């Protein structure tokens, strides 16, 4: 008969082994599927049963044949300019399509008679840059979660977990799928209120992705790159009360071990100060209609929720939204209609998405009791989010728009829209209606550009 203490140790060892396997890299056999029955980023190559989701072809890398793209600062031309919607979903016919709609989409269709979803043919034509393909393949064989699920180890940039096994890995993919090393441009943030009024913030935005520094060969990991996964420098140019305000943020790869560093310069006091904690449910933007950790779907520490991977679904999602920012097609007033953006300017397609749900952990606090994200299997972009209040009522519905960016050979996150259902307000951030598109061709800026010392020096110029 086994000694009770040995039995306990054996059981504990089994639990630890099981836990480690959850965080572990995939087998060589699994990793070898990338580029075969799985795309280089881990999506299923095969289409769906009825053909409404096509097989992934990856036939185009960069600018497609026949598309004339002049590069920055030109708008991205639509590779499907002649296509018309196959059908439209409204509050009157949503029951016919309900199996392929999210709870948030249904809520918008039921609440706003003017909201509709124009559904176009689905496309999976674009391939990714060779460098990002190689990064994903290396990560699949080496990268693991560490410090619980708060960090990455043996990570070389790009998609961390192209073959995920749990919810946290899927969410890590949404924050590691950047293909560029730098980005610069001006962005707008609009609050659109139910009474028809609008509020606008405009900022100059500079970003570096340390793990994508072109000088670092594969595999250069966190041991060389350091503990920062994203760096941003933002200067506000409007409204007048915020003009000249600047903020520098250093995003850690481990939000528990390193925290987020941020410094802010305010022209009214002419001083640079360490910014207060930026994260979790701090309200941001006009009307406070989104939280800090809503940005780009989800960011920050994982510690306030428990997460569940609900599997994959076929749903209609915003996709290939070329022309969304182009005011040569419709005016700004025409776009920013009350309660929701004009549906003429959002394209939906049917795709497969991973669905992740988070519930508030015991003893933790956040204004969202439950959250849900829908993540595109091909790009790992979060394409929709749903946030619930303390009484389990659906509160905010997010659309996150992306397009294939020809110059960096990757789908890039762009404008995001959060609808606040109780108030009828909504907010759009990272739009560029009256700005030039992002420039991804600039030099990589290292950590020295994103420090309090540089901020002090820069604002005195």
Residues 195-236: tens digit of each pLDDT = 999 999 999 999 999 999 999 999 999 999 999 999 999 999
Q: What is the pLDDT of residue 461?
A: 64
Q: Hey, what CATH topology would domain 87-459 get?
A: outer membrane lipoprotein receptor (LolB), chain A (2.50.20)
Are 120 and 140 contacting, i.e. CB atoms less than 8 angstroms apart?
A: no
Q: What is the pLDDT of residue 7?
A: 40
Report the alpha-carbon distance of residue 125 to residue 61 in Å, rounded: 9
Q: What is the pLDDT of residue 4?
A: 41
Q: What is the pLDDT of residue 13?
A: 40
Q: What is the pLDDT of residue 23?
A: 61
Q: What is the pLDDT of residue 16?
A: 40
Q: What is the pLDDT of residue 255?
A: 84
Q: What is the pLDDT of residue 15?
A: 42
Report the alpha-carbon distance of residue 229 to residue 250 in Å, rounded: 8
> Structural domain boundaries of the chain?
87-459
Burial of 341 (0-12, 13-18, 19+ CB in 10 A): buried
Q: What confidence tens digit (pLDDT) does each residue in 350-404 have?
A: 999 999 999 999 999 999 999 999 999 999 999 999 999 999 999 999 999 999 9
Q: What is the pLDDT of residue 5?
A: 39
Q: What is the pLDDT of residue 73?
A: 85
Report the alpha-carbon distance of residue 152 to residue 232 in Å, rounded: 20
Per-residue pLDDT of the chain (461 residues; tens, 9 = 90+): 444 433 443 444 444 444 444 466 899 999 999 999 999 999 999 999 999 999 999 999 999 999 999 988 889 999 999 999 999 999 999 999 999 999 999 999 999 999 999 999 999 999 999 999 999 999 999 999 999 999 999 999 999 999 999 999 999 999 999 999 999 999 999 999 999 999 999 999 999 999 999 999 999 999 999 999 999 999 999 999 999 999 999 999 998 888 889 999 999 999 999 988 788 999 998 889 999 999 999 999 999 999 999 999 999 999 999 999 999 999 999 999 999 999 999 999 999 999 999 999 999 999 999 999 999 999 999 999 999 999 999 999 999 999 999 999 999 999 999 999 999 999 999 999 999 999 999 999 999 999 999 999 998 76
Are 232 and 275 contacting, i.e. CB atoms less than 8 angstroms apart?
A: no
């Amino acid at each position: 008969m086994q000694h009770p203490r040995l039995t306990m140790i054996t059981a504990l060892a089994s639990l630890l082994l099981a836990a480690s396997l959850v965080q572990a890299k995939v087998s060589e056999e699994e990793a070898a599927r990338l580029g075969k029955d799985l795309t280089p980023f881990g999506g299923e190559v095969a289409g769906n049963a009825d053909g409404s989701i096509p097989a992934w072809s990856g036939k185009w890398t960069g600018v497609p044949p026949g598309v004339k793209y002049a590069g920055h600062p030109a708008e991205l031309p639509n590779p499907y300019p002649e296509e018309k919607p196959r059908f439209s979903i409204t509050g009157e016919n949503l029951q016919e399509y309900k199996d392929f709609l999210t709870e948030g989409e249904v809520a918008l269709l039921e609440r706003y008679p003017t909201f509709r979803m124009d559904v176009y043919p689905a496309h999976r034509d674009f391939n990714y840059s060779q460098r990002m393909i190689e990064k994903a393949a290396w990560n699949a064989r080496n990268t693991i979660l560490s410090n619980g699920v708060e960090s990455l180890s043996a990570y070389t940039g790009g998609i961390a977990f192209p073959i995920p096994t749990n919810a946290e890995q899927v969410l890590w993919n949404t924050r590691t799928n950047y293909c560029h090393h730098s980005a610069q441009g001006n962005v707008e943030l609009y609050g659109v209120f139910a009474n028809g009024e609008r509020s606008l913030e405009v900022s100059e935005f500079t970003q570096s992705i340390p793990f994508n520094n072109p000088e670092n060969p594969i595999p250069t990991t966190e041991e060389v790159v350091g503990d920062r996964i994203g760096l941003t420098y933002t200067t506000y140019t409007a409204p007048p009360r915020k003009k000249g305000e600047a903020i520098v943020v250093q995003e850690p790869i481990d939000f528990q071990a390193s925290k987020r560093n941020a410094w802010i310069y305010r022209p009214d006091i002419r001083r640079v100060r360490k910014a207060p904690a930026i994260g979790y449910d701090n309200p941001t933007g006009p009307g406070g209609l989104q939280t800090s950790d809503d940005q780009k779907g989800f960011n920050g520490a994982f510690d306030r929720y428990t997460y569940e991977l609900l599997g994959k679904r076929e749903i209609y999602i915003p996709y290939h939204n070329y022309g969304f920012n182009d005011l040569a097609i419709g005016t700004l007033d025409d776009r920013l209609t009350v309660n929701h953006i004009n549906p003429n300017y959002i394209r939906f397609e049917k795709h497969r998405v991973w669905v992740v749900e988070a519930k508030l952990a015991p003893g933790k606090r956040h204004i969202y009791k439950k959250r849900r994200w829908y993540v595109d299997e091909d790009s790992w972009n979060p394409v929709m989010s749903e946030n619930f209040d303390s009484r389990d009522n659906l509160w905010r519905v997010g659309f996150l728009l992306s397009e294939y960016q020809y110059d960096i050979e990757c789908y890039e996150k762009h404008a995001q829209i959060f609808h606040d259902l109780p108030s009828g307000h909504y907010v759009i951030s990272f739009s560029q209606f009256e700005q030039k598109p992002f420039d991804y061709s600039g030099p990589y800026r290292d950590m020295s550009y994103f420090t309090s010392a540089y901020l002090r020096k820069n604002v005195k110029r």
